[in-house]
Amino acid sequence: MVTIADVARHAGVAPSTVSYVLTGKRSISADTKSRVRESIRTLGYQPHVTDRGTSSSRTGVIGLVLPLRAGMHLPGMMRFVTAAVTTARRHDMDLLLMTADDGASGLRRAANSAQVDGFLVMDVEMDDDRVPLLRQLSKPSVLIGHPATARGLTCVDLDFEAAGAKCVDHLADLGHRSIGFLGAPSAVYRRSTGSAHRTMNGFSAAAMRRGVAATALSVEDDHDSVLRATKALVRAHPSMTALVVHNEAALGWITACLRASGRQVPGDVAVVAICPDELAEQMSPPLTSVRLPAEELGRHAVDLLAAKLDGKQPPPLMLLPPRLSRRASTPDPALVHRRAAQSG
C-alpha cells in the first residue's frame, strides 16, 4: 500500500505538503504542486479514506435511510436510489444504506460512529419519530417527504397539495362538475401520512375553488373494498363523471370495478391517478396521471445535502411542482359525447 509518506519521499517534500496539495487547504507553489501530482500518479497513490486523521474531516459517505415496510413501491424506490447514487458520485460521495427498522437507534449508531457525513431519510411522515432525533444530531440531513413542521430541517417532496389540485383543475377544465376521490386505506390516514392528507386537502380545496361537487372516500387495498367503494360512489352521486385515484393497489381494479358499477372508463367516468408514470401507462386504458418524480427527488435530495455539507443553508422545504401526463382515461369532452352517443 502506497502512503502519503511514500509520495512525499518520491517528490522530495514533506508529508504535510502532499496532504495540502490533496486538500488544497493552503497555497502551494505551482512547481511543488505539479511535482507532487506527478509522484502521486506514478506511484498510483490512493488516499486511504477510512482514516483521515480521525477528528476533523469528512468521510465522503451519505447515509441513506430506506423504509423497508411492506407495500412500498419497489421500482419507485429503486429509481430514487439510483438517481441518488449517481448524483452522489458527482459530488464525490458514496451512499451507505441503512434500513429504517434500525430506526432511531440505527441513526444514532451511524451518526456517532462517524461513518457518515449526513443522512438522507426516505419516506418521512407527518409526525415521524425520527424527526426529533434528526434535529438533535450534529450531522445534517435531508428528508424526503415532510413532517408537520419542517422547522430546522431540510425537506424535499412532491407538492402533493398542488398534485391533488392539478387533478381537479384538469378535470374541471374538461367540463366535469362532479368528481370523486378514492384515497389510501384508512390506516394510512390514521398514521397521518403526509402525502395522503395533503393530496386530499389539495383536492378538496381545488374542488371548492372550481365550484365542482367533490366526494372523497378512503379505500382498502383489496378488490372487494374497491368494488364496494365505486358502487357506493356511483349510487350516492349518479352525476359523478370523474374520479381521482390516489391508491396504487386500487389502480389495477378501478376500471373493472367501475364497469361492474355500470360505468365505462373513460366513456362515463374519466380517471386521473396519482402514481408512478409506468404504472399509469400499464393500465387499460392508460390513465392520465400526476407522476411521482422519484429521480428528481433523489437528485435534489443529494444536491441539498451536499450544499449543507458545504456550509450553505438551503431553504427548509423544497416542493417539486406536480406534472400531469394526459392519457386515454381523460379524453376531450367532444370525444366523450360522441362515444356516449354511439354506445347509448
Name the site residues for DNA (rule: CB under 7 A). 1, 3-5, 12-17, 19-20, 22-23, 25-29, 31-33, 47-48, 51-57
Q: State the pairing for strand pair 155-158/317-320.
A: parallel
Inter-residue contact 100 to 65 (CB < 8 Å): yes
Instruction: To the nearest 10°, report the CA torsion of 217, 221, 226, 228.
Output: -80
Among 14, 16, 26, 49, binds its own copies (CB under 8 A): 49
| Strand, helix or coil for residue 197 | helix
Quote the least distance from Cβ 51 to DNA, whole Å. Answer: 5
Quote the least distance from Cβ 161 to DNA, whole Å. Answer: 43
Q: Which residue is listed with cell 435534489?
A: 300
Q: With contacts defined by CB under 8 A, name the span among 63-71, 160-168, 174-182, 301-309 that binds its own copies.
A: 63-71
Q: Which helix (H) or strand (E) holds 173?
A: helix 160-173
Contact status: 42 vs its own copies (CB under 8 A): no
Q: Residue 33 binds what, of DNA, its own copies, none (CB under 5 to 8 Å, by partner type)?
A: DNA
Which three cell numbers, joined as nine digits, stand for 85?
447514487
Quote the least distance from Cβ 110 to DNA, whole Å. Answer: 14
From residue 47, how far is each of 32, 40, 54, 126, 211 by CA, in Å?
19, 10, 14, 42, 64
Quote the least distance from Cβ 18 to DNA, whole Å. Answer: 7
Binding mask 104-133 for its own copies (x = CB under 8 A): ----xxx-xxxx------------------
Q: How far is it, in rounded angstroms, from Cα 265 to Cα 183?
A: 18
Which of residues 94 and 169 has its CB atom nearest to its own copies in the complex? 94
